[in-house]
Each structure stands twice: as structure tokens, then as C-alpha cells.
Amino acid sequence: MKLGKFHIDAFTDGTFTLDGGQVFGVVPKPLWEKKLSSDARNRVRMSLTCLLVQTERVNVLIETGIGDMFDPKRADIYGVDHSATSLPAELQKRNLSPEDIHLVINTHLHFDHCGWNARREGSKLVPMFPRARYFVQRGEWEHAVSPTERDRASYIEEFFAPAEKQTEFLEGDAELVPGIRVEVVPGHTRHMQAVRISSEGEQAYFISDLAPTRLHLPYAWMMGFDLYPLETLENKKRLLPQLAAEGALVVFPHDLSTPWARLEEREGAVSAITASPTPGYFPTQDVDSNAVSVSE
């Protein structure tokens, strides 16, 4: 779709699953399972949403999905499914090759956000996007290469380290190209960055895991993974009403039904205005039994 002078387009790098308790944190299962069904292993299926922003001069890719470098055991644990689509297939559909991507922005380096930063070439790992500059917060990188016992499973160095030479390490908020700005929003990790896209007065906001799906708009609904949940809460209470007031198109990283929605604030609560699935966003959406029920 058009956003001012830019063109923005969301797609997903297939799907994966996470334990429902990890996805909804302190929210009890009887509440979240009314909105999102889980499988026999208590897992919920999620998208791996990437946002392509095309300005007049550059192609910018926000997030690179989960990639194809998982060993079979982990691919099973996380239910990785590329049978319907993948990031390379989605680029191809748009007549883009990896060489055409000029900037890659990773909001953070959890494995489901940077999977295609690199790829295998024979026995070597090489950057997936040979001509791109990659942007990540320096603090996030430093944490990713030496995580704690609590979040060690979330980082896989092979996914992001091969692109180190092309990576620019940011220290705080920054405008990367005119109209594309990263903003640090701590909570999920200390240095996670969201991305604000502005053109001709129109706004889009890649909110990253501050609200992984539109079901995470209620303030208390946040992931169990969050390292600093009270900061997630504080940032949601500050940002969501602001994004609602701006009429910004908010892009969620893991919502299987719709990549984006505008928000409204009513009586102190923020919800999505557009709750219906976005047609064509995910190819096998209607046959997927885990699709979000549109019941709000």
C-alpha cells in the first residue's frame, strides 16, 4: 500500500509456534485461548512478519524472519513451517533479489527476527543481502553474543554474526534515511528498537515485540519472554495512545491474521480498529486451524 511517497508491503517468512504461556505471560490460559487456539503441545502459531519499505531511492527490509538454518530438532520444537511461503519466495514474488535490498533493520536479534540475515553457501555462512547495510542497536548485539541463562535460547549467533562486517551499531534513536527512524523501546529486551516510517504526514510504526500481535494491545497482555515487563507496560501506556491519536498504521511482528491495524483509544484502553484478517497476507490462512478468531 501507499504511505505518502513510500510504498509499504508486509509478508511473512512462513510461520512458527511458541508455547502459549510464553506468548501471553501472566494472562491465564482460559482468557487467551478464547482468542487464539493452541495445539496438543500447547503451542500457538504465529507469523514472522517482515516489512518492506520502498522509498524513492532505497529498499528497506525490517526484520528477516526465522530463516532456514535450524537443525531438525529445533525446527520441530518451534514448528517452523515454510511450506506456504518464505522470505526468499516473497522477495521473488515482488521481482526483488537480495541484491536489491539496501538497508536491513533488525528490531532485536532474537532468532525469529534475524533468521535470514545470513545464509549458507557451501560450508560457509555469508550475508544474505550482499549490498545492504544492516542496522541494530549496539547494546542488543552485545547482549546477543553473551546472553544470560534466562534468554540464551532466544539467540543464535550463526543467524546474525555472518553479517557483522555490514552492520552499523546504533546507540539510541536515529533517522537512517529521511522518513525512516528507529526508536529504542526497552521492555522485551533492554535495547529493542521500533521503526517509525513517515511520509507526507502519513505514519506507520513497526512496533516489534512491544505488541507482537493485536491481541497484545491490552496493557497487561505481554510476552513471558520480556526481560523488563514493567518497562514494556510503561512504553505501551505511553506509545499506544499516541499511535492511536496519530492514526498510525501499526505493524505487528507475529500476527497471523493481519500484519497491521490502526488503533483507537476508548476509556483508557487501546484496541485495533481493523480486526478483520487482511486478505492475501498469508497464503493458507483460511485452512489454518490456528488462525486468530475475530471475536473482539
Interface ranges with Zn ion (CB under 5 A): 110, 209
Q: Which is nearer to Zn ion, 106 or 198 (CB)?
A: 106
Q: Which is nearer to Zn ion, 134 or 225 (CB)?
A: 225
Instruction: Determine the Cα–Cα distance for residues 78 and 110; give it in Å rounded to an integer.
Output: 13
Closest distance to Zn ion from the beta carbon of 126 (Å): 25
Q: Which is nearer to Zn ion, 6 or 32 (CB)?
A: 32
Query: Could you write out the DSSP letters of every residue in 10-58?
Result: EEEEEEEEEEHHHHHTTS-HHHHTTTS---TTSEEEEEEEEEEEE-SS-
Among residues 78, 81, 73, 148, which one has the least CA distance to residue 111? 78
Closest distance to Zn ion from the beta carbon of 188 (Å): 5
Q: Which is nearer to Zn ion, 52 or 222 (CB)?
A: 222
Pairing assessment for the beta strands 103-105 and 59-62 based on DSSP bridges: parallel
> Is the CB of residue 217 less than 8 Å from the CB of residue 270?
yes
Closest distance to Zn ion from the beta carbon of 118 (Å): 18
Q: Which is nearer to Zn ion, 209 or 255 (CB)?
A: 209
Among residues 93, 118, 105, 100, which one has the least CA distance to residue 59? 100
Q: Which residue is nearest to Zn ion (CB)?
A: 110
Closest distance to Zn ion from the beta carbon of 60 (Å): 20
Q: Which residues pair with 35 in a beta bridge?
A: none
Say which amino acid occupies 24: F
Element at 76 (helix H, strand E): helix 72-77
Radius of gyration of the chain (CA): 18
Among residues 104, 116, 84, which one has the least CA distance to residue 281? 84
Closest distance to Zn ion from the beta carbon of 71 (Å): 20
Q: Which is nearer to Zn ion, 198 or 232 (CB)?
A: 232
Closest distance to Zn ion from the beta carbon of 107 (Å): 8
